[in-house]
Amino acid sequence: MKTRMSNLIRLPSLLCLAVWAAVPGASAQTPAGLEVQLYPGLSITGAVGTVYSIEFVTDLSQTNAWRCLEFLRLPATNYLWVFIAPGSFRMGSPTNEVDRLDDEGPQTVVTLTKGFYMAKYKVTQTDYQWVTGSTPSVFTGDFNRPVETVSWEDATNYCARLTQRERGARLIRTNSVYRLPTEAEWEYACRAWTSTRFSYGDDPGYTSLANYAWYLDNSGRTTHPVGQKLPNPWGLYD
């Protein structure tokens, strides 16, 4: 199992953290006084459907001092997921931003009260064909390219079929669902608690954009396999 712990927690005092596969009993409760806040960007890979226990200790010299902070269930698909913790952000772009469009404002403070998982990469042609049995993509030759030429209805049907398949196989709970993110969820995850023009900075001359994204000038007018560029601060690609 691999874990990404950077920017995971903010604590007023020293604390050690570990992630273990576990079978949860009583609901995990954050101990009073620690003021622990889970941060977005936690990535866990391991046995699908397994529940992992995030545990902490304040004194390594104590015997059996580890206590449970939170339980996380690893989603049961072949995706890699990033947990996006709840929080507030300023949605939209400021009026003085370079190349700002009229429909990118006015800025509004939005609060997301519930966390969610977001796929680390775009849905690939392999992912789409595994669920639907076919791919409508025009750009072929590598099934790790993102699926394209899909409508909103195609995308929502894909999510519904994936949910139905995994519920039927008891890989996810009956109250779990795969869906498209809302506009606010997408921008919150994309910005990753940054307030700059892009998640990596303002970049008014677009000098660094090619390190993070494919676009007309660097793509050769075709799509490319996912995950080849740098991620945003929360580990989301493309």
Report the largest interatomic distance among the alpha carbons of the chain, rounded to a whole angstrom. 60
The architecture that CATH gives domain 83-219 is Alpha-Beta Complex (3.90)
The answer, yes or no, to whether residue 111 has pLDDT greater than 60, is yes
Is 40 within 8 Å of 9 (Cβ atoms)?
Answer: no
| Total Cβ atoms within 10 A of residue 177 | 14
**Contacts with 120 (C-beta within 8 Å, 6 or more apart), sequence order:** 43, 79, 80, 81, 82, 227, 231, 235, 236, 237
Rg of the chain over Cα atoms, rounded to whole angstroms, equals: 20
Dump pLDDT digits (tens) for 184-215: 999 999 999 999 998 989 999 999 999 999 99
Dump pLDDT digits (tens) for 134-188: 999 999 989 999 999 999 999 999 999 999 988 888 777 888 899 999 999 999 9
Dump pLDDT digits (tens) for 71-105: 665 555 555 788 899 999 999 888 888 888 888 88
Q: Residues 25, 65, 52, 238: what is their CA dihedral angle, to the nearest 10 degrees? A: 140
Is 53 within 8 Å of 92 (Cβ atoms)?
Answer: no
Position 128: which residue type?
Y
DSSP characters for 82-97? EEE--EEEEES--TTS
- Parse the chain into domains and list their residue ranges: 2-74, 83-219
